[in-house]
Structure 1
Amino acid sequence: MPHNFFDLTGQVAIVTGASRGLGQYFARALGRAGAKLILTARKAEACEPFIEELAALQIEAKALPLDVRDRDSITAFATAAEAAFGKVDILVNNAGLNIRKPALDVTWDDWNTILDTNLRGTFFVSQAIARGMIARRYGRIINISSVTSVFGYAGLAPYGASRGGVRQLTMSLADDWGPHGITVNALAPGWFKTEQNRAMYEDEGWVEYLVERIPAKRPGAPNDLDGAIVFLASEASRYMTGQNLLIDGGISVGATRALIKKP
């Protein structure tokens, strides 16, 4: 019988920012592939309803508090995560936020909040968890990037900068930690409807404008990312590291298609 390269049975996966949104989809996909889960939110109890849902699917999960903008919180979390199931094999750096504003309206605090969460948090959580991975000579780190890591969009200057930083960080960490048996990749979703951008999808004109630029002719659905997250967490991607994997319906190749008159 052929080996199942996507089987995560016996693996332990952290998903940060798992109280809502894409984090829950990532966690559910990893759990269905066999992983035990450590879910984080600034208040761990925010994950409890989701843990009950996972239990009904026979997925074992524990919740731990983590504020990715707080150094002491990261240190305490790393210790607790190692103790929860005895090891950590997979880290999904999903915790992130956006403050959508025209560039001239972005404040100093806006910039710091976005970059501290999306970029600095990703680095220092990775650093803390990688220590145990290095000791065991195995790990899968998956940073959540974005199509904004390769394209610029109005109103998203600090967010795009943070996701571009995550892309560069991913490559550097892949080079740093590759000799220790750790792969570091980024998963870069295109335009998906989430809590952060729900209001935009209520504008039918904007959705029409967006869909015209997506070769797949629709925005992403969260479960469109299930296969990619399991792939990056599994043995199937064992020789892949330092990559920014775009799951975007093709918008990265078709972004200007609406500007070209078809014959």
Structure 2
Amino acid sequence: MNVKGKTILYTGAAGGLGLPATLAFLQAGATVVAIDHDPKKIAALSEAAKAAGHDRLVMKALEMADLVEFRAALETISREVGGFDVVINNAAIYPSKPFEEYTIEEHQAVQRVNVDAGIVCVQVALPTMKARGWGRIINIASVTVYGGWALLSPYVQSKGALVGLTRAWAREFGAHGVTVNAVAPGAFPTDAEKIHPDPEGYTRFVLDHQAVKRRGTPADIANALMFLASDASAFITGQTLNVDGGWVMH
């Protein structure tokens, strides 16, 4: 699974699942344009890359909610790095409360970061992909779209939108050598789990639902991303890969 020489645009790249995958791509010889906004996470990723001797990390602190400024920044970065070969739309926000307590503005805010910013990424990257006749777009969805989770309606809505866009883009971009797939992580022990008041009870809940009786690790996601970003997945498009230990099976 060779990604050497590829340039990857990766949003949310310094998060719990993003950081290990970013390091894996760097180790494999790719250049990673890592987008994040959390100063502590950005520092951690930068230090980890430096410690590992990687010099192909392009770290950018950007606020994705401002779509106009975000697009302008990405266009500048694209010119600087010579375009993007791979886009990984991973950044997301995930408020949690009863549906009737959300304002429409809160729904729109989640959609803007989780979906609309990803649309901007693809619009900036696509011309180069088409010109090269090669591209990989990977949307990070979630097993929450299959149901079973309350209090997360804007987040679930946004992830469902990404699955729909995965299929629409796959159909439209395939003739240009661009594949589009989604990865739906299961319940991984990241910062997102901190919204749960009973961590031990939640872990029991997760393992009860999985076929594989261990918690997922960042390497499980990194391996899936590496596969979908490489030529090994060239005949796979429009698919959602559930990396969830067998929680959801269809």
TM-score by length of 2: 0.91
* 2:165 corresponds to: 169
Of 127, 140, 149 in structure 1, the residue corresponding to residue 145 of structure 2 is 149
* 1:124 corresponds to: 120
Of 9, 13, 22 in structure 1, the residue corresponding to residue 8 of structure 2 is 13
How many residue pairs get matched? 249
Tell whether the 8 Å contact from 2:83 to 2:125 is kept in structure 1 after alignment: no
- Secondary structure (helix, strand or coil) at the match of 1:252 reads coil
* Equivalent residue runs for 1:218-229 within 5 Å: 218-229=214-225
Structure-2 separation of matches of 1:13 and 1:158: 28
TM-aligned CA distance change 1:152 to 1:166, over 3 Å: farther
Structure-1 separation of matches of 2:2 and 2:197: 35
Gaps of 5+ in 1: 1-5, 255-263
Structure-2 separation of matches of 1:117 and 1:123: 10
* 1:24 corresponds to: 19
* 1:247 corresponds to: 243
Shift of 1:217: 1.6
Identity of matched residues, %: 33
Structure-2 separation of matches of 1:63 and 1:84: 13
- Secondary structure (helix, strand or coil) at the match of 2:165 reads helix
Structure-1 separation of matches of 2:203 and 2:118: 30
Shift of 1:129: 1.5
- Secondary structure (helix, strand or coil) at the match of 1:88 reads coil
State the Cα RMSD in Å. 2.1
Report 1 or 2 for greater relative contact order, CA contacts < 8 Å, sequence distance ≥ 6.
2
* 1:62 corresponds to: 58
Structure-1 separation of matches of 2:156 and 2:122: 20
Gaps of 5+ in 2: none
Structure-1 separation of matches of 2:206 and 2:19: 25
Structure-1 separation of matches of 2:160 and 2:210: 21
Of 220, 227, 230 in structure 2, the residue corresponding to residue 234 of structure 1 is 230
Tell whether the 8 Å contact from 2:71 to 2:120 is kept in structure 1 after alignment: no
* 1:160 corresponds to: 156
TM-aligned CA distance change 1:219 to 1:129, over 3 Å: same
Tell whether the 8 Å contact from 1:43 to 1:66 is kept in structure 2 after alignment: no
Of 179, 183, 186 in structure 2, the residue corresponding to residue 183 of structure 1 is 179
The letter for the 1-side match of 2:147 is F
The superposition leaves residues 173-194 of structure 1 with CA deviations (integer Å, 9 ceiling, x where unpaired) of: 1111111111111111011111
- Secondary structure (helix, strand or coil) at the match of 2:147 reads coil
The letter for the 2-side match of 1:80 is T
Shift of 1:66: 2.9
- Secondary structure (helix, strand or coil) at the match of 1:249 reads coil
Shift of 1:229: 0.6
Structure-2 separation of matches of 1:73 and 1:141: 22
Which has the greater radius of gyration?
1
Structure-1 separation of matches of 2:109 and 2:215: 27
The letter for the 1-side match of 2:11 is T
Shift of 1:154: 1.0
TM-aligned CA distance change 1:182 to 1:45, over 3 Å: farther
